Amino acid sequence: MSTTREKAVAARAASRQLQNLSSDERAELLNRIADALEANEPAILRENELDLKKAAEDGTEPALMNRLKMKPGKIAQLAEGARQIARMEEPLVRPLSKMELADGLMLEQVTAPLGVLLIIFESRPDALPQIAALSIRSGNGLLLKGGKEAAKTNAILHRVIVECFPQFGVAKEAIVLVEGRAEIADILKLNDVVDLVIPRGSNDLVTYIQDNTKIPVLGHADGVCHVYVDPDADIDMACKLCVDSKCDYPAACNALETLLVHSSQLGAGGGYERVAAALDAAGVEKFGGARAAKELSLPPCPALRHEYGTLALTVEIVDSMDEAIEYIHANGSSHTDCIITKDKARAEEFLRRVDSACVFHNASTRFSDGFRFGLGAEVGISTSRIHARGPVGVEGLLTTRWLLRGKGQYSDKDTAVTYTHKKIPIGGAWIKRAAEGITAAVGVVNAVNIGLMILAWKKGSGKK
């Protein structure tokens, strides 16, 4: 049995094998994994049923049971997510800047994998193939720790994925499934091998990780998301968006937890009454903040910053957008917050001022998701302000390196070279413009040639 350190070292070695694959090879590996997931769907669902049965026997709470279940169509969605990531532009060794330091001395900054990631995720087994696909595309090694409730589902998903590796010359240890808290405690000591920890779970879990490792930690603790219903809100829209934000997946971190209503929307026949009726019809239990509990006769909320994870939410009343923003900053978790309004200027101000990872205008908070953002998937949603924020896809799993190409230059206390520090354009618009220019030039040349041919034909045939 390998030690924890040996597993982590093996993951780093295998990650370098991944990095050495061509972009097309890593894309093909992801496509093979997508095919394998679909081919093994019956077996995966059987193992998931065993996990669900055991969780029910253990009296697992409904929100966690909801996360655990692999719903119909989930395998197909996971496979499509892997294929979407495979179709992405190559993320590695992408030039970010280029500079001539001195004559014949060229410096280039390029993207690079972080290295080895420890990702601890909750009892959602569908997170495993999503995280694996992102790490494969970005060339990172993985140490994965899933919830114990999903042990059987995680095990078969892991096996299906890593069995695709050898045919591409990559060791199965590129993705290691970690078991038990003791092994996690050992990994947290490996700051010389593991490069980043991403915990997906409770506030207690994130705090524990941060307090017990020297490895950088990226993630979010709570998903306390707000929707603010402005005086100029389209109330039909507000009803739909509030119900979707809360009910589409109540246990998700991007579900609505606090509804902020402008005081002008109160009263008989007012906007709040219609929104409340829509939430009632959807089976949502409402609790009140300090003001709403009194004015709307709602039971007091457990806390101002509270993540229900069920069909329940907090309602609070505000007198202005300024007050709504202050409330969000005081009681939110910097995850996802939304304004519903027809006033575009007010919406833009809200988008600019609310300091959250994701800020929306007239859209369900459920869109705060790597797959829905077109990232293919996500390793998590970060509310940190360093490195990556919001849904973390391939880009959030990259760092940079510097590549210097010379012709024998040496420094000699900076007397042996004459620095030019000349920036060189790379990629993007300048290449497009150059290509368009070449195309236009070729078109002109072709047009001239065709014109000369026509004149010659006319002259030879006697036509004018």
**Contact between 91 and 137 (Cβ < 8 Å):** yes
User: Quick check: is 444 in a domain?
Assistant: no
Cα pseudo-dihedral 245, 249, 252, 253, rounded to 10: 0
What percent of the chain is modeled with pLDDT above 70? Answer: 91
**Same domain, yes or no, for 76 and 197?**
yes
What is the average per-residue pLDDT within 126-150?
94
Question: What is the pLDDT at residue 379?
Answer: 87
**Same domain, yes or no, for 64 and 183?**
yes
**Same domain, yes or no, for 185 and 156?**
yes
Higher pLDDT, 376 or 364: 364
Among 70-74, 128-132, 178-182, where is mean pLDDT lowest? 178-182
Question: What is the pLDDT at residue 87?
Answer: 94
Question: What is the pLDDT at residue 427?
Answer: 64
**Same domain, yes or no, for 128 and 157?**
yes
What is the average per-residue pLDDT within 39-67?
93
Question: What is the pLDDT at residue 221?
Answer: 66
Question: What is the pLDDT at residue 204?
Answer: 78
**Same domain, yes or no, for 257 and 153?**
no
**Same domain, yes or no, for 8 and 65?**
yes
User: Quick check: is 419 in a domain?
Assistant: no
What is the average per-residue pLDDT within 117-138?
92
**Same domain, yes or no, for 8 and 63?**
yes
Question: What is the pLDDT at residue 384?
Answer: 83
User: Quick check: is 423 in a domain?
Assistant: no
pTM beyond cutoff 0.85: no
Q: What CATH number is given to the structural domain containing 175?
A: 3.40.605.10
pLDDT greater than 90 at residue 235: yes
Which residue range(s) make up the domain with 348? 225-356
424 to each of 91, 99, 109, 110, how far by Cα in Å? 21, 5, 12, 14
**Contact between 120 and 184 (Cβ < 8 Å):** yes
Number of structural domains found in the chain: 2
User: Quick check: is 112 in a domain?
Assistant: yes
Sequence-ordered alpha helix ranges (H) in 332-396: 344-353
3-class secondary structure, 301: coil
Token readout for 429 is: 């618009």
State how beta strands 196-199 and 175-177 pair: unpaired
**Same domain, yes or no, for 136 and 246?**
no
**Same domain, yes or no, for 207 and 70?**
yes
Q: What CATH number is given to the structural domain containing 327?
A: 3.40.309.10
Rg (CA), the chain: 28
